[in-house]
A and B are shown apart, each in its own frame.
Chain A
Amino acid sequence: MRKILLVVALGCLAYGIYAGGIDTVLQKATFICLECVGIG
């Protein structure tokens, strides 16, 4: 079970990186999150 899930995790991670997932996170995380602060 966990070996299958490990393959799924690595597959999702690899595809996510290929599809620009890091940039999506980076764009959100490098600006002040007004929702987190309590303004947005």
Chain B
Amino acid sequence: MVKRRIAQLVTAIVYNANLSGFVTGKIWQGSSKGLCVPGLNCYSCPGALGACPLGSLQSSVAGMALRFPFYVFGLMLLFGLLLGRSICGWFCPFGFLQDLLYKLPTPKLAKNSLTRKLTSLKYVIGIVFVLILPIVFLELNGVGSPAFCKFICPAGTIEAGWLMTALNPGLRSGLGLIFAWKSFLAIVVILLSIAMFRPFCRFICPLGAWYGLFNTFSFFGITVDENKCTHCQACLKICKLDCQKVGDRECINCGDCTKICPTHAIGFKKGV
């Protein structure tokens, strides 16, 4: 747990190391912005040094013309193959924020059959808002629009929306219904994150949905030694996510189950 917290903290700092941006309200415009970071981190956050893969994917698919986003797709495929959802558990600042919110001492909502069903929602959101709607906007208006960023992404609202409008009086004059809607969603996600473990990652995040597809065969992640496993289910009882099996598409490879396993059957892959 300590190693994961350190990784999350270092990741949040490295992704957002343009500290002067938090004072001036100006975003980083260096060449590092051409590189997507693995986790969800809005590129309009005043501290961001890199680009958000989801935002980049939407603008690459349907910016000024419809095209296959080889660069962003290649990077996202590479990230997924290497790390799977370890990225969510270890290298995502928005996951880290939700982890911290969940630590607040309040009554908690446990996982159940409904939350398990809701995990499919993030795939629908990904297909509709990341792939289909940007193309629809392109066809209708001649210019694509990152629909997930525009209508949903609470990371963008918190890191970019709230921060940038607080730091730039000029931006405040353009605020309207979309900002109000996104702020409402962000507040809902924050409140839910206090009451339940990582609601955004479990039900909404298309990036987590994508990385989850690689979880079972990524180079790094959680693995179970079937020869040692007694199927006692202790791992699934301690898991705060909606996993039905250790290392499945919902597993963020946090490693909590490795400590509870009575036969030490669960561990991290060695990367080969």
Name B50's closest neighbour in chain A (CB-CB). A29
* Distance between Cα atoms of A15 and B164 in the complex (Å): 35
* Distance between Cα atoms of A24 and B144 in the complex (Å): 13
How many A residues touch B, CB cutoff 8 Å? 34
How many B residues touch A, CB cutoff 8 Å? 53
Name A5's closest neighbour in chain B (CB-CB). B81
Name A11's closest neighbour in chain B (CB-CB). B74
Contact call B217/A2, Cβ cutoff below 8 A:
yes
Contact call A39/B175, Cβ cutoff below 8 A:
yes
User: How many whole Å from A15's CB to the nearest CB in chain B?
Assistant: 5
* Distance between Cα atoms of A6 and B74 in the complex (Å): 9
* Distance between Cα atoms of A15 and B70 in the complex (Å): 7
Comparing B3-11, B150-158, B249-257, the segment that makes contact with chain A is B150-158
* Distance between Cα atoms of A14 and B33 in the complex (Å): 18
Which residue numbers of A lie inside 8 Å of B, CB to CB? 1-2, 5-6, 8-17, 19, 21-26, 28-40
Q: Which 5 A-B pairs have the closest CB atoms?
A: A21-B71, A16-B71, A13-B74, A12-B74, A16-B70
